[in-house]
Amino acid sequence: MEMTDTADGLLARLTPKFKETNAYLAKIHKRRKRVFFAKAS
C-alpha cells in the first residue's frame, strides 16, 4: 500500500486522484527549478 501526505500533514492512501495531484505538483516544481537554474547560469 502506497501512502502520501495530505495538505494537513497526515498520511493518506495514494489514490489515483492523489497520484494525479502529485504529478501536477512535481511538474510545476521541475519547471520552476529549470527556470531558476537557467537564470542562475
> For 7-33, how does the pLDDT look when each residue is reduced to its tens digit (9 = 90+)?
999 999 999 999 999 999 999 999 999
Q: Residue 24: what pLDDT?
A: 98
Quick check: 41 pLDDT over 90?
Answer: no
Q: What angle do CA 40, 28, 41 make, to 5 degrees?
A: 10
Enter the pTM of the model: 0.70
User: What's the sign of the alpha-carbon dihedral 26, 32, 36, 8?
Assistant: negative
